[in-house]
Structure 1
């Protein structure tokens, strides 16, 4: 990790990154520190399926940041609980005196085909991804609302983490796809509700080499052996996340971005396509005939990941 640039893009900002002990979260935390931010590194240290737990990964990232001259503190609470999310925000305030950016990144997988997916696997993934976004956002938002009502200027940012699975669906990941789609809806609502308090909320749909994507990208995961550009490195996603969490992205809110390798794409969500209006109630047969005509004029949907 390079030495911290004290004149960087995020100089003076305090940033929380959840799930920051490994993979994308670790890359984000290190990138924020390299741009001058003080970072709260949250991680439970669980396995790819959410089992187990260790304080080691979060503390390791903190030590990496400190060794490079940055400032960071570890948080090992469960951010999918009200107390864990509240203590996460308190850790930022008690340690660094403020909070400017929240990066919701924590998650794990319990992949199964729908007919083999049990209720526990559904609930666990919904809990860590969707509830684990909502609760930190709720507690951080309450702090920023209080600041705004007290007359203090707020220039806060939230970066949520969705997925291509949330945008298009992914075979064998019904729980994960539903949770990641829910994060997109949460992002849009939060961007509208928190705007008056000086808070901007955006989401990314990243693709990178992490423990969670080892099976998904099995054929393309290997890093280049010749020292060339590592297209699947998590660090490729972090520059956009850092910019979205900085004051430089002022005016950008309610947006979703795909980020992979050197590519950034602004995703455009549900928009009205072909339409027709009879002006009165349809019969089922007439509604079907009209719908088939509309579908013939509409763009074909993107294929679901893993569909044959």
Structure 2
């Protein structure tokens, strides 16, 4: 097997379980030195337990790799910077940041509490922005110091819920849609420094998705996180230098590029709202319907 990430230094947030665990293990298998960040919280974000992250680090070391545990809260500004600083002080550099940490607090919008909204937005959206900001500052400084672009990788985590929508997840979907937009805009801003920015919308059986619906054993196997890890590791490698600003759907038997929003049919502006009824009706007949959770047109 090749060593796609030989010598590179990676941070994986939420790296103690599920998708993050598979990312960390495969990155190490491909030669990366890995910072396994995980608070060890419950699915809904309570508590702290570093043992899952430590188990991943132990597995990496047992296989001959290099890794350390980091228990910082990625949604805390100072904590996110401390995580970036620890990677650099321990391994001498940072090449890859994978923003994977997340929680769920699903509820229908009319029943959702302020705390349920705030917690999910904080972990997913701020927990992506804060580490990305500090990592990008480091990479920009490196690019300026050497007078040449770096070869850095920022990989975020979106979701089909954010791209296409899913009932009961206004908080989670809003955060994940925001992360998709954050990815596209950051890619535009950071390209000049040699930093690519992409995102994964994974379809996997993890703590966060278990129990949401009944699945057959075959379906569970198709949703194993190991099917998502290869595209993440490839995006983390130097081979992916020309791919940026994209969202990839991965897992459950697919690997696709999500194409994002595109302008649809339109008309000339109308001054009188009383005239809009038949015009909007005609537009709606021309417009492509919204997508379902698989990105397929919803049939009326």
Q: What TM-score, normalized by structure 1, do the two folds share?
A: 0.92
Equivalence for 2:211: 215
Structure 1 residue 215 displacement after superposition: 2.5
> What secondary structure is seen at the aligned counterpart in 1 of 2:208?
helix
Q: Are positions 1:292 and 2:287 aligned together?
A: no
Cα deviation 1:75-116 (Å, max 9, x = unaligned): 001010111100110111011100101100000111111111
Residue 223 of structure 1, CA deviation: 5.8
**Where in structure 2 are the equivalents of 1:1-308 lying within 5 Å?**
8-151=3-146, 152-216=148-212, 218-220=213-215, 222=217, 230-278=221-269, 281-303=270-292
Contact 2:33–2:91 (Cα < 8 Å) also in 1: yes
SS at match of 2:161: helix
Structure 2: distance between partners of 1:236 and 1:117:
33
Runs of 4+ in 1 over 6 A off after TM superposition: none
After superposition, the C-alpha distances for 1:172-226 in whole angstroms (9 at most, x for unaligned) are: 111111111110111111101111111000011001110000133x3226468xx
Q: Distance in 1 between matches of 2:35 and 2:137?
A: 18
Change (3 A) 1:211 1:222: farther
Cα deviation per residue 1:104-153 (whole Å; 9 max; x = unaligned)? 00001111111110000100000000000000000000000000111254
Distance 2:281 2:145 in 1: 56
> 8 Å contact 2:97–2:155 — kept in the other structure?
yes
**Does structure 2 retain, via aligned residues, the 8 Å contact 1:15–1:37?**
yes
Distance 2:242 2:56 in 1: 31
Q: CA RMSD in A?
A: 1.8
Q: Aligned pairs, how many?
A: 295
- Are the counterparts in 2 of residues 209 and 221 from structure 1 also a CA contact under 8 Å? no
Could you list the runs of 5+ residues in structure 2 that have no partner in the other structure?
Answer: none
Task: Name the CA distance, whole Å, in 2 between partners of 1:204 and 1:32.
Answer: 16
In structure 2, distance between residues paired with 1:11 and 1:133: 25
8 Å Cα contact 1:33/1:70 also seen in 2: yes
Gaps of 5+ in 1: none
Hey, what's the Cα distance between the residues in 1 that align with 2:99 and 2:44? 18
Please say if residues 187 and 201 of structure 1, whose CA atoms lie closer than 8 Å, have aligned partners that are also in contact: yes
